[in-house]
Amino acid sequence: MLIFKPMFLLNYETLIDPLLAEIRKFTPEFCGMSPGDRVLDVCCGTGAQVIEYRRRGIIATGLDIDPSMLKAALRNRAKNNLANISFYLADATELSFVDNCFDYVSVSLALHDKSKLARYKVVSEMIRVLKPDGALIFIDYPVPHVSRIWGFLSRTVEFIAGGDHYEGFKDYIISGGLEHILKVFNLHEEKRDYLKGGLVAIIKARVT
């Protein structure tokens, strides 16, 4: 494990982050975010989405439970010489922020690898810290999962990850993915798009 995690982080930064660069840039435009908006990105990983927010004058905050990912996020913040970005080592199922304090709360490719209970807790906390007129941003695999080569590769990656990660992925797909989350939490879908040939869905939703 001590060998695997640094290798995974290296692969994430050098392989996965570049593949997601298009999505990172698309997200704030798709959502209609403006300079001065307060945005929280939960399960932020290496901080790439948070950094993209800040480049656009957004007051950006990110958190992740993995110390190695957070270390990478802090390193990337310094590398980009961007101030006014806050990163926290924290569990997205128990946010320390007060109620109704963010204009947007986003989660990117992180719900699918969690157990159903953890997934529900994350979304519940996202709703709690969102302002009444704010929006939730979900970026994840659509269901049904795409059958083309990228879909096959993504399923293979999830299988290789194994353990609780893969069990969470299977439950996410079986239960209906983001559609199921919208229904369970009675969220109104304002708009949606698909990126990477349909491999990734992005949904802007509001609390009804």
Amino acid at 187: L
Q: Worst-scoring range by mean pLDDT, 11-20, 90-99, 169-178?
A: 11-20
What span, in angstroms and rounded, lies between the C-alpha atoms of 41 and 39? 7
Amino acid at 166: Y
> What CA dihedral angle connects 177, 147, 190 and 25, to 10 degrees?
110
Domain range list for the chain: 4-207
pLDDT at residue 157 greater than cutoff 80: no
Q: What is the per-residue DSSP string for 162-192?
A: -HHHHHHHHHHHHHTHHHHHHHHTTEEEEEE
Q: Domain 4-207, what architecture?
A: 3-Layer(aba) Sandwich (3.40)
Confidence (pLDDT) at 199: 86
What span, in angstroms and rounded, lies between the C-alpha atoms of 163 and 69? 19
> Between vectors from CA 96 to CA 91 and to CA 101, what angle results, nearest 5°?
120
Encode pLDDT of 82-93 as tens digits: 888 999 999 999
Tokens 């790439």 label which residue?
48
C-alpha 127, offset from chain centre: 14
* Token couple for 3: 């060998």
The predicted model scores a pTM of 0.86
pLDDT at residue 3 greater than cutoff 50: no
Residue 189: which residues within 8 A CB-CB, separation 6 or more?
A: 182, 203, 204, 205
* Token couple for 41: 């990105």
Encode pLDDT of 64-104 as tens digits: 999 999 999 999 999 999 888 999 999 999 999 999 999 99
Parallel, antiparallel or unpaired: strands 85-89 and 187-195: unpaired
pLDDT band at 139 (very low <50, low <70, confident <90, very high): very high
The single-letter DSSP state of residue 97 is: S
Tokens 């695999």 label which residue?
141
Taking Cα atoms as reference points, which of 73, 19, 75, 5 lies closest to residue 44?
A: 73
Contact 39/33 with Cβ under 8 angstroms? yes
